[in-house]
Chains A and B, each alone.
Chain A
Amino acid sequence: MVTYDDGDNAHPSARAGFLTRTLFSTHHKTIGLQYFWLALASVLVGMVLSTLLRIHTSWPDTAIPFLAAIENTPERYAAMRLLHGSLMVFFVLTAAPQLGFGNFFLPLQIGAEEMAFPTLNLLSFWMTVTSLGGMTASFFLPLATGINVWLASAALFSLAALLSALNFTTTTIEMRAKGMTLARMPITVWAWFINAILSMLIFSVLLAGSCAILSNRLLGSNFFSAASFLAQQPQNLVRQGSLPILWDRLFWYFAQAEVYVAMLPCFGIVTHLLATFSRKPVWKERLVILALCGVGLVGFCVWGYHMFATGMNPYAPLVFAVLASSLGVPAAFLLASWFGTLWNGRVQLSTSMLFTLGFISLFIAGGLSGIFLARQDLATAAVSEGFVTGHFHLVMGVAATFAILAALFFWFPKLFGRRLREPLGKIHFWMTFAGVYAIFMPMHWLGLLSQSRMLPEAQRIAFASSGATIRIFVTVATIWTVAAQAVFVFNFASSLLRHRTVEENDPWRATTLEWTIASPAPEENFGGVQPVIYRGAYEKSGESADDLVPQHLAPELLAQRAL
């Protein structure tokens, strides 16, 4: 059922106090921006941590000021990796594309004044902030306490993600403007919607798992007893040194699908930007929507994909291998649509479009190594830490970051009323693009080399020697890529500090509703006027028309414009 929003959830008035307008505002744009700042801070810290980790791996004896101040133990190194992963996965890849851009632009793109449950949205944001504080604090605490604090923070983040998912789903179903039918929704909205449904399904499981393991640690319960469970398994099913742990299963039920939670909004953003910057409708738009649903559905079912080595039933890997491989089908649909949209398009190579194309490149490069990981036999032979790290950083971490940057360059005028500098953006793109390939491609080779222990002694020594060189190369590439982000930070800060604001509402000639209002987006989204939608987000006015038509333009006005 659709009930068109009429602005009854409008934001607090301008007369409200400073804190009500900023930190405790329930307005979707304010909360979206706060998620964005949270993600930006997290990604900068996360990158610094990754550089420290790489330096420590290549030159373990180097005295690093920050690391020298803390305990220099393997546990501390593992804790730093955990903090890097937590920041990047939870507060960057989950927060930025869905909670940041989604909160800001979902109501704007469907013609609503607000999210369905604004107060719940604010609660969700502050729970996320608390979770970030907890995960960061856990790094500095003694190990046993730190793990408890991390688990409690993960549970809190899960609860916040569930509330956000509820808000996104309800807003999309209930708050669409007149004429914004499901078929006319922009692909970005579809991606946020499907992603919210997937989030609801998987964060519940992480919440339950975190509660159970916390209960084990604090209340003396015994949910996850690896030893007793292992003792009950037939010996022929248990591999040497493996532990079929229940916690693993619950965790991977969440963690494997979390990859798609990070990627789904990026698929939506990339599809949207390709159409906008190619001046062409999305090729096979409905197939893209089906592919997004397919990614969500299959992504929900492949939780055993990374557990081939944990003593599963011998038939289970076959099922998960087939499911994981079948993810290639919706991925192929998406790729076909992206190339179909580009085909014969009037491509505008803006920085946003460059990052979009970079996303496609990384998605293909990282996805190809996923084929090896999806097969149990190949995975057993080739999988090692380096191979998996290279694979998921390319296909999930870096690709998603490229989509986030593409979206930032695209929506910056609507977010801040200014434009990022294009020349600096392009320099930043090429430096980063070269850097990430130089980091993560050699990691695949490192992973394969680490399997060389099965080779004769002479060959093993030769491989180990080349491995050390590659490790140093990867570290240098990491330092290069992190340094390249200084260009972005300068571009971002100087653009924000510039007084000159954009004058036009729609600098990219985009068709969706957010571009019908002023830049930056005003406090009242549509000024109390309900927008009416007449067509899909990626339509031309007729067979002979050569450009996309805005969604809100009435047919009469369109006819007048044609004259």
Chain B
Amino acid sequence: MRGTTTGREIDLIIENIGGNSGNSPPAGGKGGDDNGKCRRKGQPSPGRYYTGIAVGIVSILMFFMALASAFIVRKGSGDWVPVHIPLVMWFNTAILLASSATLEMARKRLANSNFSGFDNLWLLTTILGVVLRIGQVVA
């Protein structure tokens, strides 16, 4: 994977996790006390992807909160017919949580340059994803 564009992005992310050197902004007028950080020139800013994802999560959270509130209000009405949840859905939920955990572990291994550990956990996450998909079809 290393050597490709994706690999370069990952290298940058690793660098970002490790932290980069701070550099104070020029003083002069007011408001110069915000300690910023400066990257080496000529490299893309990996920080924007982190920020973008964090910001995107806020939108996604609001989207599901709106749907969840609609669900709760609707459930309170008299003509609500509950749906029986198949047992396999609980199994799928467990698989989903497990795949999140393995993906996070894989990311940490990658950050520590443990590429074999990353490969194993990445493969495991992929398998869990396939199992989840099958479980969804069964449900």
Enumerate chain B residues within 8 angstroms of A554, measured Cβ to Cβ: 26, 28
Contacting pair B36 A178 (CB below 8 A)? yes
Enumerate chain B residues within 8 angstroms of A321, measured Cβ to Cβ: none
Enumerate chain A residues within 8 angstroms of B62, measured Cβ to Cβ: 200-202, 204-205, 208
In the complex, A225→B78 CA distance in Å?
10
Contacts A184-B29, A200-B55, A223-B70 hold; do A178 and B77 have CB atoms under 8 A apart? no
Enumerate chain B residues within 8 angstroms of A223, measured Cβ to Cβ: 70, 74
Contacting pair A209 B73 (CB below 8 A)? no
Query: A250 interface residue, CB < 8 Å from B?
Result: yes
| B22 CB to nearest A CB, Å | 10
In the complex, A83→B81 CA distance in Å?
38
Enumerate chain B residues within 8 angstroms of A116, measured Cβ to Cβ: 45, 48, 51-52
Quick one: which of A343-378 are within 8 Å of B by CB? none
Quick one: which of B61-103 are within 8 Å of A by CB? 61-67, 69-70, 73-74, 76-79
Query: B56 interface residue, CB < 8 Å from A?
Result: yes
B31 CB contact (under 8 Å) in A170, A183, A200: A183
Query: B2 interface residue, CB < 8 Å from A?
Result: no
Enumerate chain B residues within 8 angstroms of A169, measured Cβ to Cβ: 51, 55
Enumerate chain A residues within 8 angstroms of B56, measured Cβ to Cβ: 166
Contacting pair A117 B52 (CB below 8 A)? yes
Most buried by B among A2, A176, A182, A203: A2
In the complex, A204→B29 CA distance in Å?
39
In the complex, A116→B32 CA distance in Å?
24
Contacting pair A4 B79 (CB below 8 A)? no
Contacts A208-B67, A208-B70, A212-B67 hold; do A183 and B47 have CB atoms under 8 A apart? no
Contacts A117-B48, A232-B76 hold; do A183 and B33 have CB atoms under 8 A apart? yes
Contacting pair B58 A4 (CB below 8 A)? no
Query: B59 interface residue, CB < 8 Å from A?
Result: yes
Contacting pair B77 A229 (CB below 8 A)? yes
A229: nearest chain-B partner, CB-CB? B77
A9: nearest chain-B partner, CB-CB? B44
Quick one: which of A151-202 are within 8 Å of B by CB? 162, 165-166, 169-171, 173-176, 178-184, 200-202
Contacting pair A3 B66 (CB below 8 A)? no
Q: Which of A22-30, A235-243, A484-492, A527-535 contacts B (4 or more CB under 8 A)?
A: A527-535
Contacting pair A4 B39 (CB below 8 A)? yes
Query: A1 interface residue, CB < 8 Å from B?
Result: yes
Enumerate chain A residues within 8 angstroms of B25, measured Cβ to Cβ: 178-181, 533
Contacting pair A170 B48 (CB below 8 A)? yes
Query: A514 interface residue, CB < 8 Å from B?
Result: no
In the complex, A390→B121 CA distance in Å?
62
Query: A253 interface residue, CB < 8 Å from B?
Result: yes
In the complex, A211→B76 CA distance in Å?
21
Contacting pair A2 B36 (CB below 8 A)? yes
Contacts A166-B55, A534-B29, A539-B30 hold; do A1 and B38 have CB atoms under 8 A apart? no
B: contact size bracket: 35 or more
Enumerate chain B residues within 8 angstroms of A250, measured Cβ to Cβ: 66, 69-70
For A211-230 the 0/1 string (1 means CB < 8 A from B) is: 11000000000110100110
Enumerate chain A residues within 8 angstroms of B79, measured Cβ to Cβ: 225, 228
A2: nearest chain-B partner, CB-CB? B36
A202: nearest chain-B partner, CB-CB? B62
Enumerate chain B residues within 8 angstroms of A208, measured Cβ to Cβ: 62-64, 66-67, 70
Contacting pair A536 B29 (CB below 8 A)? yes
Query: B4 interface residue, CB < 8 Å from A?
Result: no
Most buried by B among A4, A5, A536, A539: A4
Query: B60 interface residue, CB < 8 Å from A?
Result: yes
Query: B8 interface residue, CB < 8 Å from A?
Result: no
| A195 CB to nearest B CB, Å | 14
Enumerate chain B residues within 8 angstroms of A175, measured Cβ to Cβ: 45, 48
| B5 CB to nearest A CB, Å | 13
Enumerate chain A residues within 8 angstroms of B65, measured Cβ to Cβ: 205
Enumerate chain A residues within 8 angstroms of B63, measured Cβ to Cβ: 204-205, 207-208
| B75 CB to nearest A CB, Å | 11
Contacting pair A3 B39 (CB below 8 A)? yes
In the complex, A173→B39 CA distance in Å?
15
Enumerate chain B residues within 8 angstroms of A8, measured Cβ to Cβ: 42-45
Query: A246 interface residue, CB < 8 Å from B?
Result: yes
| B15 CB to nearest A CB, Å | 11
Q: List 9 contacting pairs A-B, 8 Å CB cutoff, sorted by A.
A: A2-B34, A4-B39, A165-B55, A166-B56, A176-B36, A179-B25, A200-B58, A204-B66, A535-B29
**5 nearest A-B residue pairs (beta carbon):** A535-B29, A183-B31, A181-B34, A204-B62, A208-B66
Q: Interface of B with A (CB < 8 Å)?
A: 23, 25-34, 36-39, 41-45, 47-48, 51-52, 55-56, 58-67, 69-70, 73-74, 76-79
